Amino acid sequence: MNLCKKYSDFTRLNIYQIYPRSFMDFNGDGIGDLQGIISKLDYLQDLGINAIWMCPCFKSPNADNGYDVADYCDIMDEFGTMADMDELISEMHSRGMKLILDLVPNHTSSEHKWFLESRKAKDDPENPYRDYYYWYDEKPNNWRASFGGSAWEYDETRGQYYLHMFAVGQPDLNWDNPEVVRAMQGVIDYWVDKGIDGFRIDVIDLISKDIPNDKPGFGPRLHEYIHAMFGREKTAHLFTVGESIVKDIEEMQRHCGEDREELSTLFQFDHLECGRADKFTAKEDSLKTFRDTLILWQQETEKRGLLYSLFTDNHDQPPFISRAGNDRELRYESATGIASMVYLLRGVPFIYQGQEIGMPSAHYDDIACFDEVECLGNYKEMIEDKGLSEAEALEKVNFGSRDNARHPMAWDGSEKCGFTTGEPWLIAHSRAGEVNVAADLRADKQGRSVYSFYQKLLRLRASSDAFADGSFKVISAPEDDYFIYTRSLGDEKWAVICNFESAQEIELPFECEEPALANLGRKEAAGAYAPYECAAARIK
């Protein structure tokens, strides 16, 4: 028996990512919750979504908004109860939708029972949690935490340093301890028994470390640990997507090859570098670099039969249209044009909440409006260590902060955006009055609804074997300022034409039927294309 499902078992998934804190608040406390998600399932189903990846919803003191888990088998108070969770699962399953949970195996919260026990167990070999974390008398290396500062924190109770690759409140688990592996298997099995359908796995590349040799990621036992989690009969049916900074196709093969029995697919981030010099610094870029990175991964994953993850946005990334598109005058055009560059490719689509209406970055005028730990840590470093002025640092934070993706979903143009009746935990984006679900649906009358375009795109994907399983071929040349590709399976052949930022004539080397999908309503696949205009048409 193969202990992992195959590529072709997942090509019909259309996945939507939810950040529960910001999606929909049902009980009016200003924080999104599980009942809020349930209330929007019909909206999502209507869009063409058949699976949801939900960011962590487990008990947490929220040092990093739920990525610091205090109990993997219980629900965060603000989000609801286990009864709500059971209801969500059954409401989804009755609609034929799959639920993918976010597993955070690299670290726990410093308030997790494992850590509370571990910190008092230095001299107690009887305590099973004694070696659950990395404890050292002296810092064994100079690793820096992702959110600023040293990755080693002195703990008074234990009298030793512990490792945290992220916030101080996120101690890293010591996977070299077999008890930790077993504990995480127990967590997975708990949720499998509840009937969930898959996991997104947080920073999977970090779980194995080589501390004495100073190697923070891709440690020597990484694949042994992934296999221990997911190469089991109990987990064979799951869809699993790991978050990882894989460098090349060989590395991806080692995670997702069918014979490996590890993961279904991975998120890799190469293509997202378009439009920025670093996380907090913008850069003028053509979509060419984005296109060429996508092409490379398309070709390599197809050659090896690997499942590729199609995405541009998530809860860590400011909206892609705000840095690589034009989120002002051409917001509709660039949101839909970029969608056609990505979501008709070979792989499994992930659409982040708000992307389906072309929601732009948040933009706040005051650092006090920001909430997330990464940008606040970096803001401090920019001013204290790098000598930036407050205004310069604020501009950088406005560009790169993860809050750009975490502000409340704007359901309508009212003061609280239809997200809550209370005080929202984070201020809505500055253009919520203009860009919201209700306004976007109204724009359908003018043929300018991003939602409606996504809906048509997802329907096209769902109705076509070529888009689900067909092969990919690039037609445009590297010097072209546009992207043409084909997807074909047997007699079913499609062309997808996506123009970049300038108007131009586009010739096609083949004849096409009238486009089945076009953001500006064009009737011929070839001809003069407006900025970000796109079309998908069957080849005759």
Report strand pairing: 471-474 vs 482-489.
Answer: antiparallel
Residues 241-280 as x/- pattern, contact with ligand TEU by CB under 6 A:
--x-----------------------------------x-
Site string for ligand TEU, 184-213 (x = CB under 6 A): ------------------xx----------
111 part of the interface to ligand TEU, by CB under 6 A: no
Dist. CA 356–CA 363, nearest whole Å = 19
258 φ, ψ (degrees, to nearest 5): -60, -30
Catalytic one of 243, 356, 403, 533: 243
Candidates 31, 97, 99, 104: give the one binding ligand TEU (CB under 6 A). 104
Using CA atoms, how far apart are residues 147 and 167, in angstroms rounded to an integer? 6
- Three-state SS annotation for 440-495: HHHHHHHCCCHHHHHHHHHHHHHCCHHHHHCEEEECCCCCCCEEEEEEEECCEEEE
Chosen from ligand TEU, Ca ion, none, partner binding at 202 (C-beta under 5 to 8 Å by type): ligand TEU
From candidates 166, 332, 364, 467, binder to ligand TEU by CB under 6 A:
166
Phi, psi for residue 180 in degrees, rounded to 5: -65, -40
Determine if 25 is a binding residue for Ca ion (CB under 5 A): yes
Confirm whether 42 is a catalytic residue. no
**With b meaning 16 or more CB within 10 Å and e meaning fewer, what string describes 76-114?**
bebbbeeebbeebbebbeeeebbbbbbbbbbbbbbbbeb
Least gap, CB of 31 to Ca ion (angstroms): 4
Q: State yes or no: is 492 an active-site residue.
A: no
29 binds, among Ca ion, ligand TEU, none (CB under 5 to 8 A by kind): Ca ion
Segment lying near Ca ion (by CB under 5 A), choices 25-33, 172-180, 274-282, 296-304: 25-33
Is 203 or 338 the residue whose CB approaches ligand TEU more closely?
203
The entry of ligand TEU, Ca ion, none near residue 522 (CB within 5 to 8 angstroms by kind) is none
Q: According to CB under 5 A, which one of 13, 15, 31, 55 is a site residue for Ca ion?
A: 31
The option from ligand TEU, Ca ion, none interacting with 310 (CB < 5 to 8 A, set by class) reads: none
Query: Per the residue annotation, which of 25, 153, 202, 327 is the catalytic one?
Result: 202
Residue 375, interface with Ca ion (CB under 5 A)? no
Q: Which of 86, 258, 261, 316 binds ligand TEU (CB under 6 A)?
A: 316
Binding mask 145-164 for ligand TEU (x = CB under 6 A): -x------------------
CB of 55 to ligand TEU, least distance (A): 7
Count other C-beta atoms under 10 Å from residue 431's C-beta.
Answer: 17
Between helices 222-230 and 249-256, what is the axis angle to 10°? 40
Residue 84 engages ligand TEU in binding (rule: CB under 6 A): no
Q: How far is CA 310 from the centre of its chain?
A: 10
Exactly one of 7, 13, 63, 64 binds ligand TEU (CB under 6 A); that residue is: 64
How many Å apart are CA 403 and CA 149, to the nearest integer?
21
Cβ neighbour number for residue 384 with a 10 Å cutoff: 10
311 binds ligand TEU (CB under 6 A): no
Binding part of the chain for Ca ion, among 26-34, 373-381, 395-403, 512-520 by CB under 5 A, reads 26-34
Min CB(375)–ligand TEU separation in Å: 9
At 402, list the tokens: 């993860």
Main-chain dihedrals φ then ψ at residue 173, nearest 5 degrees: -75, 145
Q: Minimum distance from CB of 29 to Ca ion (Å)?
A: 4
Using the rule CB under 6 A, which residue among 67, 225, 364, 482 binds ligand TEU?
A: 67
* Alpha-carbon gap, residue 154 to 161, rounded angstroms: 4
Output the smallest distance, CB 402 to ligand TEU, in A: 5
CA atoms within 13 A on the CB side of 282: 17
Residue 218 beta carbon to ligand TEU: minimum distance, rounded to whole angstroms: 13
The H or E element containing residue 438 is helix 437-442
> Where would I find the beta strands (DSSP E) of 117-257?
135-136, 152-155, 160-163, 198-201, 239-243
- In the complex, least distance from residue 315 CB atom to ligand TEU, rounded to whole angstroms: 6
Comparing every residue's Cβ against ligand TEU, the nearest one is 67
Among 23, 33, 57, 222, binds Ca ion (CB under 5 A): 33
Q: Residue written as tokens 């930790």?
A: 180
Instruction: Output 402 or 487, the one with its CB closest to ligand TEU.
Output: 402
Burial pattern 130-165, b for ≥16 Cβ within 10 A else e, equals bbbbbbeeeeebebebbbbebbbbebeebebbbbbb
Total site size for Ca ion, rule CB under 5 A:
5
DSSP conformation class of 144: B
Report the C-alpha gap between 22 and 314 in whole angstroms.
13
Binding region for Ca ion (CB under 5 A) out of 21-29, 111-119, 120-128, 464-472: 21-29
Stretch that binds Ca ion, among 22-30, 211-219, 268-276, 345-353 (CB under 5 A): 22-30
**Taking the complex as a whole, how short is the minimal distance between the CB of residue 243 and ligand TEU, in angstroms?**
6
Measured between alpha carbons, how far is 458 from 452 in angstroms, rounded to an integer? 10
Instruction: Describe the crossing of helices 287-304 and 331-342 by its angle, rounded to 10 degrees.
Output: 20
Binding of ligand TEU at residue 416 (CB under 6 A)? no
Residue 472 · residue 302 · CB < 8 Å: yes
Question: Taking the complex as a whole, how short is the minimal distance between the CB of residue 311 and ligand TEU, in angstroms?
Answer: 12
With CB under 6 A, what is the number of residues at the site for ligand TEU? Answer: 13
Helix locations, 173-306, DSSP H? 178-194, 222-230, 249-256, 287-304
Residue (59 or 331) nearer to Ca ion, CB: 59
DSSP 59-113: E---TTTTSS-SEEEEE-GGG--HHHHHHHHHHHHHTT-EEEEEE--SB--TTSH
Alpha-helix residue ranges (DSSP H) falling in 305-410: 320-324, 331-342, 373-384, 390-400
Catalytically annotated residues: 202, 243
Residues near Ca ion (CB under 5 A): 25, 27, 29, 31, 33
Residues near ligand TEU (CB under 6 A): 64, 67, 104, 146, 166, 202-203, 243, 279, 315-316, 374, 402
